[in-house]
A = this chain, B = another copy of it.
Amino acid sequence: MSTATKRMNKSDLKLIAVLERTGGFASAQELHQILRREGDGIGLTTVYRALQSLVDDKIVDLLRREDGEAIYRLCGDNHHHHLVCKSCGDTVEIEGGAIEKWAKTMAEEFGFREVGHTAEIFGICSKC
């Protein structure tokens, strides 16, 4: 059996730990700030490098915020979607069962692989 040697340096592990702890998505800048706040003097460059390497190894997912900023999350995290109020900003986390199925079906139909998706709902909440 060939061993898929994972080289995982200290920084990689740190980033994984933070991502586990925070859950969900975070940008490189945010992750860097969190680590700094916790007393870790890790450099921004290293954060970017570690994230890049984790993405290459398919350990974290890379998506984009609406403004184009890269955001990362641990692969395999059960993700959820959001229902956001355009007026007060209140947000509800919702399951996306139907979406997951839809994305998968569509991707298959058109022969896409390594598929991901984004989906958000926005409107005016009952309080507004």
Contacts of A22 in B (CB 8 A): none
Q: Which residues of B contact A70 (CB under 8 A)?
A: 68
A64 CB, nearest partner CB in chain B, Å: 5
Residue-wise, chain A 83-96 has the 8 Å CB interface mask toward B (1 for contact) of 10110000010101
* Total residues of chain A contacting the partner, CB 8 A: 34
Inter-subunit contact B123/A115 (CB<8 Å): yes
B94 touches A112 (CB 8 A): no
Using Cβ atoms and an 8 Å threshold, which residues of chain B touch A110?
A: 83, 92, 94, 125-126
- CB pair A99–B123 under 8 Å, yes or no, is no
Complex contact B96–A121 (CB within 8 A): no
- A120 in the interface, Cβ–Cβ < 8 Å? yes
